[in-house]
Amino acid sequence: MSTPEQVAPDPAAPPSPSPAKTVDAAGEIRLQSVSKHYGDVTVIDDLTLTIEPGTFYALLGPSGCGKTTTLRMIGGFETPSVGTVHLGGVDVTNIPPNKRPVNTVFQSYALFPHLTVAKNVAFGLERQGVKKDEVRRRAAEALEQVQLAHLAERRPGALSGGQQQRVALARALVNRPRALLLDEPLGALDLRLRRQLQVELKRIQQEVGITFVHVTHDQEEAMSMADVIAVMNRGKIEQAGSARELYDYPSTAFVANFLGQSNLVKASVTGTDGDASVVETHDGNTFKVPTKRVAATSGELAVGVRPEKVWISPLDALDPESSRSNRMRATIVTSAFLGVSLEYHVLTAGGDEIIVTVQNNARDDVTTVADGAEVELSWEPSHTFVVAVGADA
């Protein structure tokens, strides 16, 4: 008989009562020079990463980038073709999933429909032979953590999707894993419920204090919850850091556009001016960029700025005293009223499309500019960055 999460194979089988090895519960998760091949296809390419204990760590990227395969290797459901997986300082590369101190929660909750919520949560402990009093106590604690104690005697069919997801979380947490692995657990929920559970997941992680490794393709989901976000692309981590670090200091065009939205124009670094680098675009505009925000200086480059950092001004209303020294001329193509903001799509003389987002409550001097109007775009040098451009930019 399989567990609720064990569907060939079961990613969340309860730990064996007699594991072959005991993994240090205080240790980190580490992948060392890991690659995964399926025939001639490379899914993970020489990946090394370390996840510190107690971290909410998000693997973010598009479909096919290798994030789920990475999670499955941590959980033991995939074996690296090359490299090693370490949990708590112990090499667990060849240790099966049910002997690793981790549990996995999937998009499919796989709850037993004929068992109550309390029985679903207690199932793994009962299989391990834990004493009945201990089972009841720990199951009750787990349901308290996910705020479902009042629904302990209901069956899954009487619960909402969000409540079922929290039952799945309680069932994983009751085993007291060293780490909880989350494979797009909110993907089947509607937007309102996803946002609600993002807050709940972060609260639960902070309360229990264990490592969460969360796979998602949703940038907002990663930014709202994770302490560290690793942006993956083609089996590699392009950049890892906090949401603010990745947003303000992207190192590649892929990261700049996957985490948020960026305006990117092909450019080259031509010199320095004090603590700033001088950048020239392909159409002859010159901008200043803080040197610390220049992620690359050679190869194919782009200069970038986020849409909300750009000011848009009709040519007859320019401010010659403005400190926004990065400027360029453009023509309004179209505009859209989005409620909280106005979004302009403009075209530069060099043929680049730029997006400008103007918050309705951010400035008192917002002027609606008509389509077809010639305007000047301006922004602070401190909001500018330079990134490397790859094949996926």
Provide the residue ranges of all domains of the chain, joining segments of one domain with +: 29-245, 249-388
What separation in angstroms does the CA of 361 have from each of 13, 340, 354?
51, 7, 22
- Position 12 pLDDT exceeds 50: no
Cβ contacts of 146 within 8 Å, gap of 6 or more: 166, 167, 169, 170, 173, 200, 204
Q: What is the fold, at CATH topology level, of the domain defined by 29-245? A: Rossmann fold (3.40.50)
- What does the pLDDT read at residue 323? 66
Q: What is the pLDDT of residues 316-355, one digit of tens each?
A: 777 666 667 899 999 999 999 888 888 999 999 899 999 9
> Which whole number is the average pLDDT over 176-201?
85
228-232, 241-245, 297-301: range with lowest mean pLDDT: 297-301
Question: What percent of the chain has pLDDT above 90?
Answer: 60
**Binning pLDDT at 50, 70 and 90, where does residue 166 land?**
confident
**Binning pLDDT at 50, 70 and 90, where does residue 146 land?**
confident
Question: What percent of the chain has pLDDT above 70?
Answer: 89
- Distance between CA 125 and CA 171 in Å, rounded? 9
Number of residues that make up the chain: 393
CB 173 within 8 A of CB 180: yes
Computed over every residue of the chain, the mean pLDDT equals 87
Reduced to 3 states, what is the DSSP secondary structure of residue 130? coil
Cβ contacts of 271 within 8 Å, gap of 6 or more: 277, 278
- What does the pLDDT read at residue 365? 52
- Position 384 pLDDT exceeds 70: yes
Type of residue at 393: A
- What does the pLDDT read at residue 98? 86
Type of residue at 47: L
Burial class (CB in 10 A: 0-12, 13-18, 19+), 212: buried
Q: What is the pLDDT of residues 365-376, one digit of tens each?
A: 555 788 888 999
23: DSSP letter = P
What separation in angstroms does the CA of 168 have from each of 77, 175, 182, 386?
19, 12, 11, 43
Q: What is the pLDDT of residues 41-78, one digit of tens each?
A: 999 999 999 999 999 999 999 999 999 999 999 999 99
- Position 22 pLDDT exceeds 50: no
Query: Is CATH 3.40.50.2300 correct for 249-388?
Result: no
Whether 29-245 and 249-388 share one fold: the answer is: no
Choice between 2 and 296, residue whose per-residue pLDDT is larger:
296
- What does the pLDDT read at residue 10? 39
**Binning pLDDT at 50, 70 and 90, where does residue 364 land?**
low
**Binning pLDDT at 50, 70 and 90, where does residue 165 land?**
confident
- Position 20 pLDDT exceeds 80: no
Helices (H), the chain: 67-75, 117-127, 132-145, 161-173, 191-208, 219-225, 243-248, 253-258
- Position 21 pLDDT exceeds 80: no
- CA 144 from centroid of its chain's CA atoms: 27
Closest of 185, 228, 267 to residue 49, by C-alpha: 228
- What does the pLDDT read at residue 212? 94
Q: What are phi and psi of 123, to 5 degrees?
A: -55, -50
- What does the pLDDT read at residue 24? 39
What's the pTM value of the predicted model, to 2 decimals?
0.84
CB 124 within 8 A of CB 158: no
One DSSP character per residue, 193-253 reads HHHHHHHHHHHHHHHH--EEEEEES-HHHHHHH-SEEEEEETTEEEEEE-HHHHHHS-SBH
